[in-house]
Structure 1
Amino acid sequence: MCKNRRAAMASDPKPRPSSRSSYSYPVTNSGSYPRTTASFSSSSSWAISADSKTSSSASLAALRDSLPETPTIYSFAEISAATNNLLARSLASGSSSSWRCSLRGKDAVIFQRPFRGDPAALPGRLGAVCKSHHNSLVRLLGVSLAGDHIYVVYEHSPGASLAECLRNPRNPNFTPLSSWMSRIQVAADLAQGLEYIHHHSGVIHNRMKSSSVLVTEPNFHAKICYFGAADLAGEVPVTTSAEDKEAASGEICPSSPPSRKMRRAGSGRMKIEGSRGYMAPELLAGGNISRRSDVYALGVVLLELLSGDEPLKYRFDKEGKDVHRVSLIETAREAIRPEEDSSEQERRGRVRRWVDRRLRDSYPVEAAEDLVRVALRCVEADAAARPDMTWVAGKVSKIFLDSKVWEETVRVPTDFSVSIAPR
């Protein structure tokens, strides 16, 4: 049957050319895979180009924010203007030497401390301290020197102190750190941050306590405040060669003379600075500042984190009409007595009674015992018996990983379905 031209075209249609131009190119592989051809349309290539430009700009912005800034030496006029001549509302209750303000367009926190160092050496010390950056440290922005005081400026980080999280005077039965993983996360951040301060920054913190630890949301990560303040204020003198060897080996040289001593006050008596309950015995006896005293203070903070109690408490005995001091270290040692004195079940019962009850017994007892033992190693009376922060950070990291495994085993499964249809 003959067909006209119109019928022939209708029975055998040809594809219409697309308005969008397309390109194809062969893709070869040096291996034994077959040769393939990939095609892209011009519209999709423009979309990919736009997405790549957006991701590149975002990555550059993130990289720019992560780069360290040049440390700043502020003038006292800037500090005075930002704090209303030091009359602004103080940052912490009961303290008149800390302010939150806006300084050069940044939300900052200023701390005032006595200055005992050499003003000529301050720029060099500031440059050395500002080279250190860690996620567990509050960022240092700069300093200002005026008279016999130094004003240390830090970047403001939202959050609450560890002391406020553990002991809320308005509601003692509530704590945001109500899970075991939140507390072991804080312990791991503190151990890694102090290990970085000692072995990578080469400075001494000298202010480790629960009120100097900032807990941030939403994942309850911890940040150490006052990083570098002791070195910038001149509380830590320049180390000798013997102490440099001690810092490199992590051991205490018995032949090296004690040099990190606190400065004497004008009256000739040794001026002891620190918080009660966190000061190592050697600080109370001779005033030697060292990394081992930082380790001691960290051990107290770890015990405080586990129990929720203060380092020192005073109780009044109604019968004896006397006041008794209760030490957190002593109660922890009583709870973790050696196994020969009691059975394993009795020891775990004591540990459960000692650990903060607001955790509701929902934690691995073995991990809690291990963390108590690590903390008690840190608070040894003899400074030479305390471990260095590399050992402490490794132990705490292992306890954290074991706790993650425990969390996976007790987590409620969500990958199951329930059918209520009739059979």
Structure 2
Amino acid sequence: MCKSRRAVMASRPTSRSCSGNTASNSSSSSSSSVASNASSSASLVALRNSLLALRNSRQETPTLYPFSEISAVTNKFVASSSRRCSLRGKDVVVFRRPFRGDPAALPARLVAVCRSHHSSLVRLLGASLAGGTIYLVYEHSPGAPLADCLRNPRNPKFTPLSSWTSRIQVAADLAQGLDYIHHHSATIHNCIKASNILVIEPHFRAKICHFGAADLAGDILAKTNADADKEAAAADAEISPLSSPSRKLKRSDSRRMKIEGTRGYMAPELLAGGNISWRSDVYALGVVLLELLSGEEPIKHRFDERHNNFHRVSLIETAREAIGPAEYSAEKERRGRVRHWVDRRLRDSYPVEAAEHLIRVALRCVEAEAAARPDMTWVAGKISKIFLDSKSWEEKLSVPTEFSVSFAPR
């Protein structure tokens, strides 16, 4: 009996010890679970905060800057109509242009333009109005104008866009950006040209500058007259089956806008005093596409020794001569002309069929009749297809990395 009682007494501490270990393990497991839950909660909070910050940054209210602040940071625009500067801690570029709109409508229009975000557009941050001038504040995007990339007077034989894929990438970015302007922002650009396009390294992506400038400056006014809307809709239905932006736009000052336009990029209807429209944007883009392909300016004047005078050479005309009527031109001859016309700095390293297709798209854009020009959705789709075909062509040319070549004797 005593022995049994001693055995029981001896066993009690062991039982307590096991109980203590179990409690300790339970406590450790519980604290680990709490720590894990706390960590997960912290991660969720951090994720929520980052998403809120992203949403707030994208919905940032555009700023109407006081003119005194703009004047101070730009040094009153001495000897320049644009100025890169630091404004409220941001690296920006400020442009000025004549204002012809309604000052009371500016805040609402500014909010509408600043809500638009696209990777191919330089973002507008705000504006300032003083007298008859509007000052537009854009984010600074590091890059070089497309015109300088294609035509550097210091080194005409060099171009950073020396590969076919870099040029077709720029073309795709421009088409998608302008398609966004027309169909998602319900406005037009009105100043598409090579000097208003930035090429950004290292991947040679393109951004369109001055988005919203024509709208905010009052160059473009929405037609509020119901009869005018019906007339424009009927005209669109008669001349083209293609879709067009729902908003009808007109030019506020035909003669003045004609003077401000850039020769070579202006559609024939603008030269004749007609109204600006999304079709005139398409025309200008077509000219830029031809520049990308050839590296040449839209218009050049060459000296004719035979007649002892200068004659005007249009890039559109030379492109049409290179393509020629398909039904009257043998494929081999036509592709020979295309190779001769395309920028020689590409060193003949590009898919000729893709180049020919892009020339044809560009020539559709620069049709003399505005009604014959396609809308940007069609253009962007065609260029995207050419881009994908060009990437496939590039992949076929690349050397497989799994193979090695040895020239050593066996």
Superposition TM-score tier, normalisation by shorter sequence: 0.7 to 0.9
Query: Cα offset for 1:128?
Result: 1.2
Name the amino acid aligned to 1:370: H
Residue aligning to 1:80: 71
Query: Cα offset for 1:263?
Result: 1.2
* CA distance in structure 2 between the aligned counterparts of 1:334 and 1:271, rounded to whole angstroms: 29
Q: Deviations over 1:164-215 (max 9, x none)?
A: 1000111111101000110000000000000000000001100000000001
Residue aligning to 2:279: 292
Residue aligning to 1:336: 323
Conserved 8 A contact 1:262-1:272: no
Residue aligning to 1:31: none
Partner-residue secondary structure (3-state), 1:393: helix
Q: 1:52 to 1:310 in 2, by over 3 A?
A: same
Residue aligning to 2:62: 71
Residue aligning to 1:260: 250
Name the amino acid aligned to 1:70: T
Q: 1:324 to 1:418 in 2, by over 3 A?
A: closer
Partner-residue secondary structure (3-state), 1:223: strand
Q: 1:225 to 1:335 in 2, by over 3 A?
A: same
Conserved 8 A contact 1:272-1:287: no
Pair 1:214-2:185 in alignment: no
Q: 1:152 to 1:45 in 2, by over 3 A?
A: same
Query: Cα offset for 1:239?
Result: 2.4
Q: Deviations over 1:52-78 (max 9, x none)?
A: 579848954873585231111111101
Q: Give me the TM-score of the superposition, normalised by structure 2.
A: 0.83
Residue aligning to 2:381: 394
Give the alignment partner of residue 178 of structure 1, picking from 132, 152, 162. 162
Superposition pairs of residues 350-365 of structure 1, within 5 angstroms:
350-365=337-352
Q: Deviations over 1:369-399 (max 9, x none)?
A: 1000000000000000000111101111111
Structure 2 segments unaligned to the other structure (5+ residues): 1-20, 240-247
* CA distance in structure 2 between the aligned counterparts of 1:70 and 1:296, rounded to whole angstroms: 34
Residue aligning to 2:288: 301
Q: Give me the TM-score of the superposition, normalised by structure 1.
A: 0.81
Query: Cα offset for 1:318?
Result: 2.2
Conserved 8 A contact 1:162-1:213: yes
Conserved 8 A contact 2:258-2:273: no
Conserved 8 A contact 1:198-1:204: yes
Partner-residue secondary structure (3-state), 1:315: strand
Name the amino acid aligned to 1:146: A
Q: Deviations over 1:297-355 (max 9, x none)?
A: 00000000000000000001123111110000000000001233221000000000000
Conserved 8 A contact 1:246-1:252: no
Give the alignment partner of residue 149 of structure 1, picking from 133, 136, 150. 133
Aligned residues with identical type, % of pairs = 72
Query: Cα offset for 1:86?
Result: 2.1
Residue aligning to 1:227: 211
- Choose 324-333 or 245-254, whichever is displaced more: 245-254
Give the alignment partner of residue 375 of structure 1, picking from 339, 342, 362. 362
* CA distance in structure 2 between the aligned counterparts of 1:191 and 1:22, rounded to whole angstroms: 64
Superposition CA RMSD, Å: 3.3
Name the amino acid aligned to 1:402: D
Answer 1 or 2: higher relative contact order, Cα 8 Å, separation at least 6. Answer: 2
Query: Cα offset for 1:85?
Result: 2.2
Query: Cα offset for 1:262?
Result: 3.9
Give the alignment partner of residue 100 of structure 1, picking from 63, 71, 84. 84
Residue aligning to 2:150: 166
Structure 1 segments unaligned to the other structure (5+ residues): 1-16, 26-40, 91-95
* CA distance in structure 1 between the aligned counterparts of 2:215 and 2:375, rounded to whole angstroms: 20
